[in-house]
Structure 1
């Protein structure tokens, strides 16, 4: 399979991103209930095209990663946080998630970040393995932070220097 093409999102990607987000919803990574119609717009006042990198395979949008600030504080502006990552089912195992993660780190560096962080649910073993393989380390754990489908789940804080 050819390598994914990674680029910044555009306003025209909104519908495809919304569909992808709904299709990849899983209690493995989501703390919000499954989206129901009428669907909220993918872009909003907090996150727009400039906050997303997208992956394409064969011209089809098959993944995205959202890069934001962990807080609105000026003293924290040297840190970026991954605040969403999704890969279409048919593109999993093709290196799309890894390519998006690497591109997000490059983009964060380009935008002046010194560190990059993320939060991942403790039971999301595949994502945790990917992050660890790319140099992220566990920097904290909030035990049983979420109750998801009747199970208490840890919130794992990970990060790395760029």
Structure 2
């Protein structure tokens, strides 16, 4: 998709981002429901400028959010990302473009490592992240109890200087 615009989120994106979250997150790929009861609640958790969005013909079709994993100064070189792409436009390079854009942002802000978390049951996402060069750095065994069974949480990472290689 060459017509995809990648940019920082703006206030007008909030309703579309809420709708996208409601569409994509479920108990197969998230430890709990991420349903926002209002755009204001979403905006409090994800203020404009804290996500990079992909827009196709003006419609938000994906995002990568970034945050610090902890408030500790000794951990400020790391950003933790969360990625969401509309199922109707998956496998067209949007997720990869979003991760690359997050890496550019991270590099510009002095970050050296990107990390993420993914449920062990989300095989498609794990394969995608591995294809993008992410490596498993740990596994939290039985971290969540979802639909009557325990599910591991996989921790993955990629060094910022490895993007573009």
TM norm. shorter chain > 0.5:
yes
Deviations 1:41-98, CA, capped at 9 Å, x for gaps? 3211x4311210000112211011101101001111111111x211112111211111
Matched residue, 2:116: 118
Partners in 2 of 1:65 and 1:77 — Cα distance? 18
Matched residue, 1:97: 95
Q: Is the 8 A contact 1:146 1:154 kept in 2?
A: yes
**With structure 2 as the length reference, what TM-score do the two structures score?**
0.89
Matched residue, 1:146: 144
* Structure in which a larger fraction of residues adopt helix: 2
Q: Give unpaired runs (5+ residues) of structure 2.
A: 161-165
State the secondary structure of the residue aligned to 1:101: helix
Root mean square deviation, CA, Å: 1.6
**With structure 1 as the length reference, what TM-score do the two structures score?**
0.90
Report deviation, 1:34: 5.8
Matched residue, 2:55: 56
Count, aligned residues: 159
Q: Is the 8 A contact 2:3 2:57 kept in 1?
A: no
Partners in 2 of 1:95 and 1:126 — Cα distance? 15
Write the mapping of 1:30-69 to structure 2, written as runs, cut at 5 A. Answer: 30-33=30-33, 35=35, 38-39=37-38, 41-44=41-44, 46-69=45-68
After TM superposition, the runs of 4+ consecutive aligned structure 1 residues lying more than 2 A away are 1-4, 33-36, 38-41
Q: Is the 8 A contact 1:3 1:95 kept in 2?
A: no
Query: Aligned pair in 2 of structure 1 residues 123, 161: CA closer, same or farther (>3 Å)?
Result: same
Q: Give unpaired runs (5+ residues) of structure 1.
A: none
Partners in 1 of 2:153 and 2:71 — Cα distance? 21
